[in-house]
Amino acid sequence: VIGPMRGGTTLLRKILDAHPRLTSPAETWFMLPLLNMWTGRGAADAYPPKQTAAAIQSHLDQAGFVEACRAFAASFYAQITPPGSAVFIDKTPPYMDIADSLPLIFPEARFLLLCRDPRSTLWSRISWKHTEPEPIERTIEGVSRHVRMQAAFAGKWVSRLHSVSYERLCTDPEAETAAICDYLGVDHDPAM
């Protein structure tokens, strides 16, 4: 799922996870530090990211690193996917920042692009009580950046994605989930 923080990704995840053939657990987060090992971005107390990136790049070219990431991710997902599940769906909003890498790591993957009216996303971020408030200008820029990232992703990977409307998911969940199921190749389930 490619969707911004406070964009409805948790609602979508819970709806998808209600389907007996779909698995969409809580956020995994592992792809961020994994891919950042190549770029040397981020912060870590135990190791300097830039030194780690330099060391990895001295042993592997980028294609080798991508293959190693693919193997790790495949093992990770296989271990947490229950028997009988046809599709694993990862919903981790911070993956927006690495969205362009995901189709390269997962060449067979298909993507759900969750779109929500940016005004609603902005309001959700401003009114969310679980984090310290940030300056409104920063919040507006964050929402705007995510809209631009989603548009760029959609333009580049249109053949590998299905757009999901948060608003339609709320007002006509049966039609929206039926379209998702059709895209994912599973029968629609009323439990959704």
Whose tokens are 């980028």? That residue is: 62
pLDDT at 18 over 90: yes
Closest CA to 20 of 83, 74, 75: 83
Q: What pLDDT shows up at residue 77?
A: 93
Q: What is the pLDDT of residues 50-78, one digit of tens each?
A: 888 889 899 999 999 999 999 999 999 99
**pLDDT range class, residue 131, cuts 50, 70, 90:** confident
Contact 178, 167 (CB under 8 A): no
Q: What pLDDT shows up at residue 134?
A: 81
Q: Where are the alpha helices (DSSP H) in 60-135?
A: 62-80, 102-105, 118-127
Other Cβ atoms closer than 10 A to 174: 10
**Who contacts 165 (Cβ-Cβ below 8 Å, separation ≥6)?**
115, 116, 176
Kindly provide the residue ranges of all beta strands, DSSP E only, lying in the chain, ordered along the sequence. 22-23, 87-88, 111-115, 161-165
pLDDT at 159 over 80: yes
pLDDT at 45 over 80: no
pLDDT at 119 over 90: yes
